[in-house]
Structure 1
């Protein structure tokens, strides 16, 4: 019976406790998962990982306890299956999606909420499991009662046997004890017929061996009655408090019940809690207390008898209490108690609470034994109630978090709808990249084979590239030389200083001048494109004022917009930095090319330049290697003809246009977008296109928003990666002219003003092997009041200087037969008398290092052909002023 009682108070309560622990582990994992999904903070995964390892340990312990019950083992297996399904289908997948930042997957998952089905099933299964186990507990209690009855039957049998033996002994030894034996057997029969009533005793009338037997029997019955009473009270308490979850009600009910059982007249129960990081025993319930409370409010561990009892985990008994210790009060008066017991309530050797009881009488041995044996079973109940309370609190918190998660889910859904279009674009891009990767893998072997062949041709390609560069440089000279005279003379005709041309002739001159400028732009574009292809275009990084850039574009294109009756808008979005570091010349050239195209292909409506910081997603798509927080977007939008889908890649190729037919409506060479794309790559940027045929186009230039020159390492890397051949070709130092627009009318210009105070009477020596250039320059200089001498090569120049020491300035062409300009200038500088004479170098080759080379040879200044007369006159005025 003791084993059965311990089984009920130990095994059954442990089964209930472990089932509650498994449920708490699952709730911890579910709450931890939601917390991590909401915050993304890894610390919220600690309860999940703890619960993940703890539930299996609790499951194994619980299964070991119920191995003798196949039905409960089967129920427990179902619970295990549901937990594993929840982890596999709802727990780990959501965490994996969160770690991969798959927010859309998480949203879709919580729309279905597969995990809720499993958690609901688990709660019902665990409740059914505990209900079944409770029924088993009740059955065992009934069995204990039946065992008690069996014990009585056994005792009856024993007594019958004893009686029989006693009768036999009495008959054998002495007939004098017959009456006593009959009396003992009669008493035993009375006990046997009382159906478990152990209160009956054998009447002892003799002091012989039979009397001793009767006394021992009475003592045994008393022990059994006391133990039966204790077991009954413990079982009743376990059953009564099984469903109580509210801690205040549970502790108050317990102190009331136990005080009545041990006949205590005063009592208080202290519950162990952690408050303000202190381990305290706090008064939680009292029996027969007064309005102002019973006892001290709280104790620390080891403080006072209450704290000492908790610290040592043992019962303390106080006798002979002073009169002023505490008063037991009733309606008729008050008095001091006679004895106090302080007893801890434990669970798994840990003190959960301490009860202190006072009585007007000394506690009996039976009462003390009840207090000792009730401490651990009630500790199990107290622990289960605390666990259930914690589970309910966690569930409440999870509900609150679920509501917050729902609100955030709605926000995420709104953002997801906004990102859906961009996601589709990314998916399309990814598919395209996957196809390219597959193609690259297939071609890797072929590339390896071709690499060896390419190495054989590398030297030939390098030499070919050098020939190409030299050819373009020489061709530049050959084209610019006649173009120089064409532009100068046509400008004279446009100005019509003598008034000898009629209106039609002036218009012819304007067309000739405009065509010459178009030819110059074409030459510059070809040289720019060849330079980029050769990998020799260098970028010069400096501060770019973003507040000044719109004014530059406005000055260049507002007249064009007015001429074509178009609106021209420039929008600067807030949040732009005032300065960035980039190549201002290349940046302006890209924007000029894009605006030029926009005006060219727009007949009505508006052209808009928008400058803004790209949003992070847009920046990440456009420039994956750049910081998403530092990308500037320059968008040029128009309401023109638009671009068909099949032409959107083609237009970025050299000499290609949207309308590329022979009878096309729009002019131009088709080099602007190709050059702009290459320049954008060199700046570490990219040009994106959005267009709808018949409604217009938007070209967007994305460049990294650099804040210091050292940030150009990435741009330099892009520039170096584009170098595919070695070339000596260099761009002209002169800035690019504003883009030419079809049907642009050159406005009337007034004749040049003669600066008699500076140019008048000055003698100029023009050295050039092209008579057309000599003729054009001579006319221009004479119109300024200067006297002009000419020479066709370097030797004639030296001869003229020997004859005319009064020459004030020399205009020196570089590429001439017999003796070029470099050699001629070196000879001139050797003459001390001519060492200070200004020499302005004029060249059509327009190589980057020509300026330095000319200055080294002895030139005072440098101007590239075709010559801008205003620039030439400005330089001459400077040198005349110095001399």
Structure 2
């Protein structure tokens, strides 16, 4: 049997021809033709339909990824993250275009072709809506973009996924039909072999049966393998050995299965990562308290990857020194003697902060860190300490411990989620600083209002004082001016006419001095009254309600008035 498996189909049929010349020619022709048809069909499935299935599955995955990237457009982010998100969207759209272009070059049956046409049209409609959403966001119309995404975008995305599922279903049905056709070919081959075997000698019958058996059993095994693969189980292998065409076909099916399995695993991994990032984003939204945010984040990460303990350390200023202070923990023992603050380079936490590189410890020493439950305690096998970096600026350090070994996918998740977490902490810290500044401004505003109230009280006291002083000055001044005017009139009407004929020069001089001094008293009294009125108008001046009259004055008049008003002071002095 091993000998026959290592012979090619041509040699097997040639051996039958040598045994039964008369019937072998027809049997060879029919068998080769049937097997070629079978091989062509399987080859077509491998080269065409399977390729179509792979591209449709990847296109479906890219649609889901596009949808997730579209939702990330509404998450507050800096320009770097926005650019990165737009680049990822552009990359996904370009890869989708390549997938559709590849499928368009393949030979498809009418049903699959119709499904792909619907798939393509639905995607173009959704892609146009996505571009409109991006334009609205770029124009600052985020609310309109969200409404468009959640209404028309959701409907079109769902239509794309439904059409993708339709194509996948159509291909699976096609695989089933292909399996049925191969079964028909198989049955026909058996019947032809049996019919011609009846007319040959017993030896040719036995030989034909052995040869057909070596072919049929392996072909049937391949058929069963393709059926299992068509149902979505990509872990099965076509365990058919041999150096003939069937062996080559089995090798091709195994290669196809490996590609499908790898693609399926990659899609599952990416979907798992995206789901984890989406859950973190959901936790971050609406959370403003820094420590509350840290607690929710470490809880979500621990639960998502199935870890047991964890902690988050954030930067803090202590006595003008920057340290990493414990902000939130998950299932950490209160009896742990580990410090709650680390300086740069101190311990693993400080070393990660200093180097800004992730550190992974496996098979940690006993008592390094304990995982405690109600029934006992154990030590974690893996401890991952990750820096939280926002645009190369350190925000904190996250430490996670598990009783299992962390795989590459989980480490990728921790690395990716650390960027999102760092961004959230940066925003939360900025908001906290802004609230502190607002509180300081509020206190300063209250102090300023109190100071203004005190100034207004002082101004009122000043105004009252000036008003009182001005009133006390005006009352006697009015009497002085009145008496001076009476004296001036009495002098002019009674005393001066009586003394006008007195020849004494001293009397005449004294009369003139009295007249001048009396006039000075009246004029200076009136000027002092004007000054008092001006003092009473200080409040108006401070309120800006006084109109200034700017005019030119003769300096000679000012000098003459000053000399006249003070001349009596120098009368008895040798000046």
Query: Which interval holds the TM-score relative to the shorter structure?
Result: 0.5 to 0.7
1:268 and 1:295 in contact (8 A); partners too: no
1:231 Cα deviation from its structure 2 partner: 0.5
TM-score, with structure 2 as normaliser: 0.52
**Change beyond 3 A, Cα 1:421–1:152:** farther
- Give me the whole-angstrom Cα distance separating, in 2, the residues matched to 1:252 and 1:142: 36
**In the TM superposition, what whole-angstrom CA distance separates every residue of 1:443-502 from its partner, at most 9, and x where no partner exists?**
xxxxxxxxxxxxxxxxxxxxxxxxxxxxxxxxxxxxxxxxxxxxxxxxxxxxxxxxxxxx
User: What secondary structure, in the 3-state scheme, does the structure 1 residue paired with 2:416 have?
Assistant: helix
Match of 1:638 among 452, 460, 476: 476
Higher relative contact order (CA 8 A, sep 6+): 2
1:265 and 1:359 in contact (8 A); partners too: yes
Q: Which residue pairs with 1:299 in the alignment?
A: 342
Q: Which residue pairs with 2:408 in the alignment?
A: 365
Q: Which residue pairs with 2:237 in the alignment?
A: 204
Q: Which residue pairs with 1:471 in the alignment?
A: none
Q: Which runs of 5 or more residues in structure 2 are unaligned?
A: 1-61, 81-129, 190-214, 241-249, 497-510, 536-554
Give the alignment of 1:84-95 within 5 angstroms.
none
Q: Which residue pairs with 2:269 in the alignment?
A: 226
Match of 1:353 among 382, 386, 396: 396
**Change beyond 3 A, Cα 1:157–1:378:** farther
1:258 Cα deviation from its structure 2 partner: 0.8
**In the TM superposition, what whole-angstrom CA distance separates every residue of 1:119-149 from its partner, at most 9, and x where no partner exists?**
xxxxxxxxxx6x6677678788998888766
- Give me the whole-angstrom Cα distance separating, in 2, the residues matched to 1:165 and 1:691: 119
Give the alignment of 1:262-301 within 5 angstroms.
262-292=305-335, 295-301=338-344
**Change beyond 3 A, Cα 1:175–1:384:** farther
1:269 and 1:283 in contact (8 A); partners too: yes
1:339 and 1:358 in contact (8 A); partners too: yes
Structure (1/2) with the larger strand percentage = 1
2:324 and 2:343 in contact (8 A); partners too: yes
**In the TM superposition, what whole-angstrom CA distance separates every residue of 1:288-342 from its partner, at most 9, and x where no partner exists?**
1122457321122333222222233322111232213222222222222211111
- Give me the whole-angstrom Cα distance separating, in 2, the residues matched to 1:67 and 1:294: 56
- Give me the whole-angstrom Cα distance separating, in 2, the residues matched to 1:330 and 1:168: 60
- Give me the whole-angstrom Cα distance separating, in 1, the residues matched to 2:518 and 2:415: 98
Q: Which residue pairs with 1:669 in the alignment?
A: 515
Match of 1:247 among 290, 295, 300: 290
**Change beyond 3 A, Cα 1:294–1:665:** farther
1:16 and 1:133 in contact (8 A); partners too: no
Q: Which residue pairs with 1:690 in the alignment?
A: 529
1:689 Cα deviation from its structure 2 partner: 2.3
Q: Which residue pairs with 1:339 in the alignment?
A: 382
- Give me the whole-angstrom Cα distance separating, in 2, the residues matched to 1:660 and 1:295: 108
User: What secondary structure, in the 3-state scheme, does the structure 2 residue paired with 1:13 have?
Assistant: coil
Q: Is 1:393 aligned to 2:426, yes or no?
A: no
- Give me the whole-angstrom Cα distance separating, in 2, the residues matched to 1:392 and 1:66: 37
1:67 Cα deviation from its structure 2 partner: 9.0
- Give me the whole-angstrom Cα distance separating, in 2, the residues matched to 1:9 and 1:375: 19
Q: Which runs of 5 or more residues in structure 1 are unaligned?
A: 19-64, 77-128, 192-199, 426-572, 574-606, 609-634, 645-650, 679-686, 701-720, 739-845, 849-883
1:277 Cα deviation from its structure 2 partner: 1.9
**Change beyond 3 A, Cα 1:369–1:246:** same
1:163 and 1:185 in contact (8 A); partners too: no
1:243 Cα deviation from its structure 2 partner: 0.7
1:213 Cα deviation from its structure 2 partner: 1.6
- Give me the whole-angstrom Cα distance separating, in 2, the residues matched to 1:268 and 1:674: 94
Q: Which residue pairs with 1:259 in the alignment?
A: 302
Structure (1/2) with the larger helix percentage = 2
User: What secondary structure, in the 3-state scheme, does the structure 2 residue paired with 1:317 have?
Assistant: strand
User: What secondary structure, in the 3-state scheme, does the structure 1 residue paired with 2:406 have?
Assistant: coil
Give the alignment of 1:176-195 within 5 angstroms.
179=220, 182-183=223-224, 186-187=227-228, 190-191=231-232
Give the alignment of 1:550-565 within 5 angstroms.
none
1:184 and 1:202 in contact (8 A); partners too: no
- Give me the whole-angstrom Cα distance separating, in 1, the residues matched to 2:171 and 2:375: 52
User: What secondary structure, in the 3-state scheme, does the structure 2 residue paired with 1:689 have?
Assistant: helix
Give the alignment of 1:48-87 within 5 angstroms.
69=134, 71=136
1:266 and 1:287 in contact (8 A); partners too: yes
TM-score, with structure 1 as normaliser: 0.36
- Give me the whole-angstrom Cα distance separating, in 1, the residues matched to 2:149 and 2:284: 14
1:271 Cα deviation from its structure 2 partner: 0.9
